[in-house]
Amino acid sequence: MSKKRELSRKITEIIGKLPLFPRDIDRLLAVAVKPSGDNTEILRLIESDVGLSTELLLLARSYYGTDENIETIGDAVRCVGIQPLVQLIGMSYARSAIQEEFAALKYLNEYVDHSEAISIGCRILAEICGMEREEYEVYAVAGLIHDIGRLAIMVASNRTSAHVLGTLWDKMASVVYDEKAALGTNHCDVGMQICRKWNFSPIIQEGVLRHHTPLINSDFSLPGALIFTSHFLSASDPSGEILSTLSAAEIVTRLKLSAADFDKARDIYKSRTENSS
């Protein structure tokens, strides 16, 4: 068996062994992921399950409570929208699964830190782009899980002692093609498969799949572009040289962000990450 085929088999096995969420969470995500997903039906599912409703309310308070007065599920829905809440509760279970299933990775904490940084960046960029809160909070959740495919590949490749590092800024667009050539797959494809298994929203699936390739010819992915561009908020690039390379400048233009907007986003990012340290 070739190395690529063996790696593919191991990755498929790892994905297959990832635990499913509890039945009530899985059912909630399954309803929310449908193209015709009805928010009324989602809310009915939450309110009809006392345990689920309590759990979601506690999560909403812990995540948004410092900024909002959240006393009921209705308050949470009014503050941030129902889809972000559903995706957030899914993410809470995903995080537990990640910590357990990928515990063999010595530097798993690097993945967590990087994912949280990208999540902050996605929220800031989406806010500056003028999106509604319900929309940008879903993008923030996407940032939290965008690199999960990297973990599966590292375990399958028996690289458990390696650092869980992100991609160098000048390799953002090329890394997935390099991975495909060397491994027969890439971490974006693998991550999307995991998100599909866990019934995360199509927006999150697309963001994970396209976060290194948000612009393919004329095909533009907004979720992918937000995650891609978020990587540059924390970059040490005072001259703007990095952001002007590759297709990054065109992606920023597609997001309708000016240089001043990006500078503002970087200042906000610096302020929020320093305050949370």
Tens digits of per-residue pLDDT, 84-96? 999 999 999 999 9
Supply 180's token pair.
């495909």
Q: What are phi and psi of 206, to 5 degrees?
A: -65, -40
pLDDT computed for residue 244 by the predictor? 60
- How far apart are alpha carbons 197 and 130 in whole angstroms? 31
pLDDT above 80: residue 129:
yes
Domain architecture of the chain: domains with CATH: 3-20+91-276 (1.10.3210.10)
Q: What stretches of the chain adopt beta strand conformation (E)?
A: 215-216, 219-220
Q: How many CB atoms lie within 10 A of CB 97?
A: 16
Partners of residue 219 on adjacent β-strands? 216
Task: Give DSSP secondary structure letters for 96-112.
Answer: HHHHHHTTT-TTHHHHH
pLDDT above 60: residue 71:
yes
Coil, strand or helix at 30: helix
pLDDT computed for residue 170 by the predictor? 60
User: What residues have CB less than 8 Å from 178, skipping those under 6 apart?
Assistant: 171
Give mean pLDDT, residues 179-208: 94
Of residues 61, 32, 34, 55, the one with CA closest to residue 44: 32
Give mean pLDDT, residues 45-62: 91
Please state the pTM of the whole predicted model.
0.91
Percent of the chain scoring above 70 in pLDDT = 89
pLDDT computed for residue 80 by the predictor? 87
User: What residues have CB less than 8 Å from 216, skipping those under 6 apart?
Assistant: none
In whole numbers, what is the pLDDT of the chain averaged over residues?
88
Tens digits of per-residue pLDDT, 138-168? 999 999 999 999 999 999 999 999 888 766 6
Contact criterion met (CB below 8 Å) for 219 and 227: no
Tens digits of per-residue pLDDT, 211-268? 999 998 889 999 999 999 998 887 655 455 656 665 577 888 899 998 889 889 989 9
